Amino acid sequence: MSKERARRRAEREAEQARQAALRAERQARLARRRRLLERVTAPAAALLPRRPVRIAGQRGIIARRRRTQNGVVAVLFLIVQVIAWLLWSSWAARLGALLLSLLLVPVLVTVVFDRRS
For residue range 28-69, what is the model confidence (pLDDT) as tens digits?
Answer: 999 999 988 888 777 766 666 667 667 777 788 888 888 888
- Run of H or E including 68: helix 61-87
The dihedrals phi and psi of 8, each to the nearest 5 degrees, come to -65, -40
Instruction: Tell me: pLDDT of 117 over 60.
Output: no
Please report which confidence band the pLDDT of residue 111 belongs to, taking 50, 70 and 90 as the band edges.
confident
pTM (global) more than 0.85: no
Rounded CA separation 44/4 (Å): 60
Is the model more confident about 41 or about 90? Answer: 90
Is the model more confident about 23 or about 37? Answer: 23
For residue range 68-86, what is the model confidence (pLDDT) as tens digits?
Answer: 888 999 999 999 999 999 9
Q: What pLDDT sits at residue 36?
A: 87
C-alpha 14: how far from chain center: 44
Rounded CA separation 49/44 (Å): 10
